[in-house]
Amino acid sequence: MENLENLSCLRCHRELEAGHKSVAVYMFAQTVGIRPRQKSAAQRICFCPPCSVSLAMGPPPEGALNLAAWQMIRDLVSSDPALNVAAWESLRGIAGFLPATGTDDTPRRTIASGYFEF
Ligand SMILES: [Zn+2]
């Protein structure tokens, strides 16, 4: 079962509520050339914008799956500055005060929820 309400960034564990800016990596497995064809449930892995940019700018990770995800995130980060802007907004601590474009039908978060957890 996928829990859409309590997703958090895989790297920094920051909570990502619905409507928050993030990068979602979907993954599923499926049999090929075997009958009956089987397909696993899809997994959704999320990264917050700063972690996405940080990962993309960093060196390639170990492992084939990590490398595949890294290349996909690099593709997103390098193709349009929007994700970099989102990361910048997050660093500035203003992301929580700006509505997510067109998707903001969730209750507004309060300042008390905080972006930084030391
Ligand atoms: Zn993160």
Give, in degrees to the nearest 5, the angle at Cα 77 between 76 and 79: 65
Output the pLDDT for position 19. 83
What's the rounded mean pLDDT across residues 52-81? Answer: 95
Ligand 1 centroid to Cα of residue 83, in Å, is 13
Q: Which whole number is the average pLDDT over 41-54?
A: 95
Q: Is the peptide bond before 81 cis (omega within 30 degrees of 0)?
A: no
Q: Is the pLDDT of residue 70 over 80?
A: yes
Closest to 49 measured CA to CA, from 103, 107, 104, 96: 96
Residues with CB under 5 A from ligand 1 (ion): 9, 11-12, 14, 48, 51
Place of tokens 């914008």: 49
Q: pTM score, two decimals? A: 0.70
pLDDT beyond 70 at 73: yes
Q: What is the mean pLDDT of residues 109-116?
A: 45
Q: From ligand 1's centre to the CA of 40, what distance in Å?
A: 26
